[in-house]
Amino acid sequence: DGGITQSPKYLFRKEGQNVTLSCEQNLNHDAMYWYRQDPGQGLRLIYYSQIVNDFQKGDIAEGYSVSREKKESFPLTVTSAQKNPTAFYLCASSIKGGTEAFFGQGTRLTVV
Amino acid sequence: GESVGLHLPTLSVQEGDNSIINCAYSNSASDYFIWYKQESGKGPQFIIDIRSNMDKRQGQRVTVLLNKTVKHLSLQIAATQPGDSAVYFCAENPSSGAGSYQLTFGKGTKLSVIP
């Protein structure tokens, strides 16, 4: 089945540690995105990538980093520089030039 | 700045009634709009979309209406069912061409269906 997969579903991290969230898609989409969602809030764009080996900052990129070495994969690293990392993280993809984004099931990150 | 927002943060409807969820947008350049449904703890799921050259589009039990004059978007759900309980987001893209890949999301409306 085609789709977009995020792992893990739940993640706990100690303050001061970096952590990487996985996102894989087999939809053959060129564009991929990372969003952050806080309780009762909408989605805020962290980073997006239109093509392999290229990515751009979104609205709240500080404290995050990404890579796009393969078309299928767009991992997000939450660094220790992110001051408030506890949130629900959503990865999405869309076809090049298209706008309908398909979302993964999310990773809930909790900093303890 | 440009933004997408919702008039009602919560909506409670009786099972079987019709639901109407509203969304206001302020970017007059937006030409593509999407409604998403998000169930608790899950990712948003595409419901229906509409381009700015249309006023209305229908899906299965859902209808999206676009009023460009007042920059208003609505989602109508017919015969609302308990499974429709979720948070509904509208999203806009300022340009549906190759230049823009960003969707701007509203904060969402929580729909609760009363059995």
pLDDT digits (tens, 9 = 90+) for B56-94: 999 999 999 999 999 999 999 999 999 999 999 999 887
* Beta-carbon contacts below 8 Å between A and B: 57
Q: Is B14 on the interface with A (CB under 8 A)?
A: no
Residue of B nearest to A51 (CA): B101
B48 vs chain A: nearest CA distance in angstroms?
10
Cβ-defined contact of B101 to A102 (cutoff 8 Å): no
Answer whether the bond into residue A8 is a cis peptide, omega within 30°: yes
pLDDT band at B21 (very low <50, low <70, confident <90, very high): very high
What's the half-sphere exposure (Cβ side, CA atoms, 13 Å) at B46? 17
Query: Per-block average pLDDT, block size 10, for chain A (112 residues)?
Result: 88 93 95 90 90 93 97 96 93 79 95 90
Distance CA A15, CA A103 (A): 28
pLDDT band at B3 (very low <50, low <70, confident <90, very high): very low
